[in-house]
A and B are shown apart, each in its own frame.
Chain A
Amino acid sequence: MRQNLKTVVSMHTRFKISFVLVVIIFSWVRVFAQHNHDHHENTHNDHAHEMSDGNSEHQESHGTCGSHDGHAAFDPASTAIHHISDANVYSLLDWIRIPLPTMLYAEDRGWDVFMSNVFEIGHHEDGHQSYNGYVMHEGSVYRVADKTFPQEGSVHLGGFTTESQLIDGKKRDVTYVCYEGNKFPCESRSTWDAGMLGGGVSSFYDFSISKNVLAMLIVSIFLMWIFIKAAKKYKENPHSAPSGTQGILETLFVFIRDEVAIPFIGKDKYMKYIPILMSVFFFILGLNLFGQVPFFGSTNVTGNLTVTMVLAILVALFVNFKGNKHYWQHVFWMPGVPVAVKPLLAVVEVMSLFIKPLTLMLRLAGNISAGHIAILSFIGLIFVFGNSGANLVGSSVGSLVSVPLTMFMMAIELIVAFVQAFVFTILTASYIGAATESHDDHH
């Protein structure tokens, strides 16, 4: 009893000490950020000097890089969006920047393959150099739309400004790059959706190994490694109790088999669908957890709509190709209902063929992105209370509020990482089960 009490007390003190440590670290983050902002402002002043020296003949054709608004008020929304977006550089703590291979293709100039450190990436993942008409702003590659901008080699840039403009009756943010005192409009970020989702159309395609692609490669290789390791162990001594990674993997594997595969697909044919269910589950779980590791890039792969779209389309194709006669009969000519209702139900069923993968895609991306945004907003409280590093008392209070909230949110996110991987798998299994059900299974 006494011993127990002692452990509890020591746990309590340990928790207190770690809490204080975390608060100190966060305060340091604030000081560090403040330092960066000061630095930032100085460089802006330098640029202002450069601008006044710059030649003035261009200034009529292009807008000038007018007075920069200094380090403006902290904008939590845009900061959060920047941090959950994909990037062409892997930043750890806004400090260590791992350049990534960038492969760009534009119809009018062909391929450009280079490492992203040619942009000389600085704070906020803004590039200080251009390269062959491309620039980097907040981690993404943009192409300068104005063709009077130097199209070959590198030039030194004077920062970026963003203005919202009315284009085709819609408000859009246009990024401008400053060069020799003039501002040049940039195209939108590279997109594959032809601008349908508000990104705008760009004249180049980005095939880079971006941050998300790198995270997917790391997680895939890691999963392959631990599964091959576990499989070897099973082969060597099949009768011994599982140990180490084997134990973790077996728990999850058996859970998915017994709770998802067998009840939804059926005892006699579930084995055929185990590979896709397990691949989906462990890939999503691995990426969810990889994005949760603090100070490790905080990649948001499963929160990226493109990634989840590909996963959902693969599942939908798999399900519909595996669908048997009864499945398609249930879609187009539902048995057991009056003939008048049948065409109506067919319309609904055909719609649901498309809605199923759509919700699969939105659910995963929405949940994971929402968690990341919540954590970033709580960390943003420090900067909101502290007036972006100007108010010491405010930011200390902000840290005290922000640390427990962030820790709470991260604990919730750990559960969400498992639940969303499980939900994706269980829905996949239920769709497969519905598509492959033989006629004598029910009724």
Chain B
Amino acid sequence: MTGTLAAIGAGLAVIGAGIGIGLIGGKAMEAIARQPEASGDIRSGMILMAAFVEGAALIAIILSIFF
């Protein structure tokens, strides 16, 4: 039973991260379309932000593995 609950927790964490990364990617694409000359800066900013969001999700997943 604990295993099932942990899996649900991991799934919820991934939903959150998915929404977050989707928003970041979408907005970054919009920004690049608006200002193609700034695409380099936008891309590195996008990857950095996606990494932060992913970090939060990973902490949740690790916690759901251990508890």
Chain A residue contacts of B6, Cβ below 8 A: none
**Separation of A198 and B58 alpha carbons in the complex (Å):** 19
**A362 contacts B55, CB within 8 Å?**
yes
**Residues of A417-438 contacting chain B, CB below 8 A:** 419, 422-423, 426-427, 430
The answer to whether A358 has its CB under 8 Å from any CB of chain B is yes
Interface class of chain B by DSSP:
helix
Chain A residue contacts of B44, Cβ below 8 A: 259-260, 263, 426
Chain B residue contacts of A260, Cβ below 8 A: 44
**B66 contacts A423, CB within 8 Å?**
no
The answer to whether A363 has its CB under 8 Å from any CB of chain B is yes
**B62 contacts A366, CB within 8 Å?**
yes
Chain A residue contacts of B48, Cβ below 8 A: 423, 426-427, 430
The answer to whether A337 has its CB under 8 Å from any CB of chain B is no
**Residues of A238-286 contacting chain B, CB below 8 A:** 259-260, 263
Q: Name which residue of chain A comes closest to B52, CB basis.
A: A359
Chain B interface (Cβ within 8 Å of chain A)?
40-41, 44, 47-48, 51-52, 54-56, 58-59, 61-62, 66
**A358 contacts B59, CB within 8 Å?**
yes
The answer to whether A197 has its CB under 8 Å from any CB of chain B is yes
B60 to chain A, nearest CB (A): 10
Chain A residue contacts of B52, Cβ below 8 A: 359
Q: Name which residue of chain A comes closest to B44, CB basis.
A: A259
**A263 contacts B41, CB within 8 Å?**
yes
**B51 contacts A366, CB within 8 Å?**
no
Chain A interface (Cβ within 8 Å of chain B)?
197-198, 259-260, 263, 358-359, 362-363, 366, 419, 422-423, 426-427, 430
Q: Which of B40, B51, B59 contacts A427 (CB 8 A)?
A: B51
Give me 20 A-to-B residue pairs in the complex whose CB atoms sit less than 8 angstroms apart, sorted by A's number.
A198-B66, A259-B40, A260-B44, A359-B56, A359-B58, A359-B59, A362-B55, A362-B62, A366-B58, A366-B61, A366-B62, A419-B47, A423-B48, A426-B44, A426-B47, A426-B48, A426-B51, A427-B48, A427-B51, A430-B48
Chain B residue contacts of A197, Cβ below 8 A: 66
Candidate in B44, B52, B66 with the most chain A CB atoms within 10 angstroms: B44
A158 to chain B, nearest CB (A): 32
Q: Name which residue of chain B comes closest to A423, CB basis.
A: B51
**A362 contacts B59, CB within 8 Å?**
yes
A366 to chain B, nearest CB (A): 5
B7 to chain A, nearest CB (A): 12
**B55 contacts A363, CB within 8 Å?**
yes
**Separation of A333 and B16 alpha carbons in the complex (Å):** 32
| Contacts A198-B66, A426-B48 supplied; 12 other A-B pairs, CB < 8 Å | A259-B44, A263-B41, A359-B55, A359-B58, A359-B59, A362-B58, A363-B51, A419-B47, A423-B47, A426-B44, A426-B51, A427-B51
